[in-house]
């Protein structure tokens, strides 16, 4: 397993601003991912954070809106840019510790945009 620390755990932000969410893992992992859970909805994959290269985004998500960094095998950030109230969601980091093993999730960041 892996212990995942996500910061901040929650935030209230003004529209038009940006928020960067950090995800720190206690061990090196092969794969890191970012998910979003909008109110009353399921979890949706935003992107795969690739170490040393650009993230791979899922359909409907773009780098300009959700820039992602992964400088090493234990850390990643997700930025929610130019926020609007529609960005109010829980954002979750997840990791696949080893190839073909179950993914573990951080506790999530609850974002409210006002």
Partner 1 sequence: DQQVKQNSPSLSVQEGRISILNCDYTNSMFDYFLWYKKYPAEGPTFLISISSIKDKNEDGRFTVFLNKSAKHLSLHIVPSQPGDSAVYFCAASGTSYGKLTFGQGTILTVHP
The two structure tokens encoding residue 66: 């959700």
- Contact between 38 and partner 1 (CB under 8 A)? no
Residues 46-105 that bind partner 1 (CB under 8 A): 48, 92, 94-96, 100-105
- Contact between 39 and partner 1 (CB under 8 A)? no
Q: How many residues bind partner 1 (CB under 8 A)?
A: 25
Using the contact rule CB under 8 A, the part of the chain among 13-21, 42-50, 70-78, 81-89 near partner 1 is 42-50
- Give the helix ranges, DSSP H, for 27-114: none
Residue 54's Cβ-side half-sphere holds a number of Cα atoms within 13 Å equal to: 8
Please state whether beta strands 10-13 and 109-113 pair in parallel, antiparallel, or not at all (unpaired). Answer: parallel
| Residue 48 bridge partners (DSSP) | 33, 56
Interface ranges with partner 1 (CB under 8 A): 4, 6, 31-33, 41-45, 48, 92, 94-96, 100-108, 110
């Amino acid at each position: 397993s892996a212990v995942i620390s996500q910061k901040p755990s929650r935030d209230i932000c003004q529209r038009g601003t940006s928020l960067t969410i950090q995800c720190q893992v206690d061990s090196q992992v092969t794969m890191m991912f970012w998910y979003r859970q909008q109110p009353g909805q399921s979890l949706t994959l935003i992107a795969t954070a690739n170490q040393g290269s650009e993230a791979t985004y899922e359909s409907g998500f773009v780098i300009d809106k959700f820039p992602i960094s992964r400088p090493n095998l234990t850390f990643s950030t997700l930025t929610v840019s130019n926020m609007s109230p529609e960005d109010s969601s829980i954002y979750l980091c997840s990791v696949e510790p080893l190839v073909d093993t179950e993914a573990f999730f951080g506790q999530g960041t609850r974002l409210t945009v006002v």
